[in-house]
Structure 1
Amino acid sequence: MQTDKLIRKIIHVDMDAFYASVEQLDNPALKGKPIAVGGSGKRGVVSAASYEARTFGVKSAMSGSLAIKLCPELIFVNTNFDRYIEISKKIRKIFFEYTDLVEPLSLDEAYLDVTKNKKGNPSASLIAKEIRDRIYNEVGLTASAGISINKFIAKVASDYNKPNGQKTINPEEVTAFLEQLDIRKFYGVGKVTAEKMYQKGIFTGMDLKQKSIAYLEEHFGKSGSYYFDVVRGIHNSEVKPNRIRKSLAAERTFSENLSSEIFMLEKLDQIADEVSRRLLKNNVAGKTITLKIKYSDFTLQTRSKTLPYYINDKDIIFETAKDLLYQQKPSNSVRLLGISLSNLNTETQKKIIQKSVSVQLKFGF
């Protein structure tokens, strides 16, 4: 680990089964029961599952039909993103009472840099506990947290004592923690990469640490240097409070395949309306419109068009998506349609913030 630079105090807060917990909060009759947020039909997909459902093996991104087989008593609830956003804003308001260095990753998780915080509290662990208590008392939901010297370790740690717990990895504990860590728990190592590492005899952080950077880059490409660094506790990415949104999208998976262009246009109109509403709500606009088509045989196709001006108007989005659809008529029945806008004007609003920090040698957790 590098000791000649500022040693930071980073907290990763992760809400517990957020969507499902919000539904249980709003409907007490659902508390203690296995619920899934999402569609229950044969084309439905689970967006989130309560912990009661997870004990049966139900998890996000699973088909609704498989979920109900695993848990016959599973209760399906429709998604309510407006409500999730409302709750997320309340939680973030709490975060900002402790630091302005808050980097949301999604509605239900965020990084906080509390090296210098508004409360003047030198203990990141105590701050994390206080934040979790306030979320429970003021919002009614539980959260878990990881605390350590960088974002990578804090995120890994936040998953250790879920739900409603926290784990601190002190600076002097980082090396042993990473060496003993199962490679599957390394943030950024997915299922495919983990299998590839297993085949090469890499099962733990210690195994990974034995490999040279040249070896890792040869077998894992650009990610090789990342793995080489993080297993040594090196992850210098700062908490970025002004993360720039790169794109905004909406899509629909249909209960029955669509073969009629009339029905496709009807669905595109609805999707364009949703994308436009999200753009307007976030006060952004984009130039590049991408149409996503997934056919009944699961083949995926995307078509894009870049306009000479920024737009967030529903009619323009729809007409452009329609042109893209007619660019080449669907060769098969369609199970999913999606529209995304990228090349957003958020890039033109990006500000470069330079910070000067003093070297800090003592780091109390």
Structure 2
Amino acid sequence: MTQSTDAAPLFQPVTVGRMSLPNRIAMAPLTRSRADNVTGVPTAMNAAYYAQRADAGLIIAEATQISPQGKGYAYTPGIHSAEQVAGWRLVTDAVRAKGGRMALQLWHVGRVSHPDLQPGGALPVAPSAVKPTLKAFTTEGFKDIPTPRALEIDELPGIVEDYRIAARNAVAAGFDAVEVHAANGYLIDQFLRDGTNQRTDAYGGSVANRARFLFEVLDAVVGEIGADRVGIRLSPLSPSNDAQESDPQAAYSPVIERLNDYKLAYLHMIEGVTRGPHPGFGGLLAELRGLYKGRYIANNVYTRAMAIEAVGGGHADLVAFGRPFIANPDLVERLRLDAPLAEPDSKTFYGGDARGYTDYPTLGAATA
């Protein structure tokens, strides 16, 4: 890719699905664990937080569980009850009042959970009973994740239906789009990877079988709200949440190629190992990226210079920033001005109140 020093393309409008976006900067989904833990309902504080960041071309809201079984972290929101839909409507109304646009990330964590977070204290579920070497964030702190229960084949249609209903609920809650979370070692990604999927039925073994669940979910979600309202997130090069894959190229190339048939709003790709060094724009990343013909959102430790290069050089249509949005509610303006970025307080990332959530100042306020 040619080196570009012209920042202008990063701030030009772009059409993504049925959305007209004013710039190419997306706010990546960030788990902040500030919903009501019992009901999973977003609050006015969540609405204030997202409205502060409405200058993003697209806000992709935090991962949101499609069912009580899909929960893997304390204080995370859901999109499976009328009360949750109403709570999210507070958020989308506040963002829309500031001129923003939002997608909701649909989430089932699979094995990345704990009985403390599951209905009736049940075991977390997964494609196979493979224990991750992870801890779960509960109301009592971090606890070791147990060996999950392997899903029975007759349970899978019900989970697919949960995704369909969640997509319908997201539209009812005022979201412009949804993002199917098929990355970072959560349930859909667990089906895709040979390290977490040891099934011998129609959902295991071959790459096509391991991808079956993903495409059943996509068929359901697209059938419910339309392909131009649906994005998908993948992380083919990342073993995040202890999800191993022996041959990422073989596992993900056919998946990405088949995604072209859906004419989705976008593919959101975590490039390299999640929060690890960016692998550069060549090699296997370039090969996988080249397979996708639609709108492409690049993500993973991007700097301003990298984002300018990615968009200006044609690697990406948008670039998603995650943690920089935490302490910089006006991140788009700071990037436009090449202004210094504030650093977030990691102690307030998860849980708590407005401190470290809605109290970070804009550049103008900080200067004053």
Task: Please state which structure has a larger fraction of its residues in strand.
Answer: 1
TM-score above 0.5: no
Q: If you compute each CA radius of gyration, which structure gives the higher value, 1 or 2?
A: 1
TM bracket (short chain): under 0.3
TM-score with structure 1 setting the length = 0.25
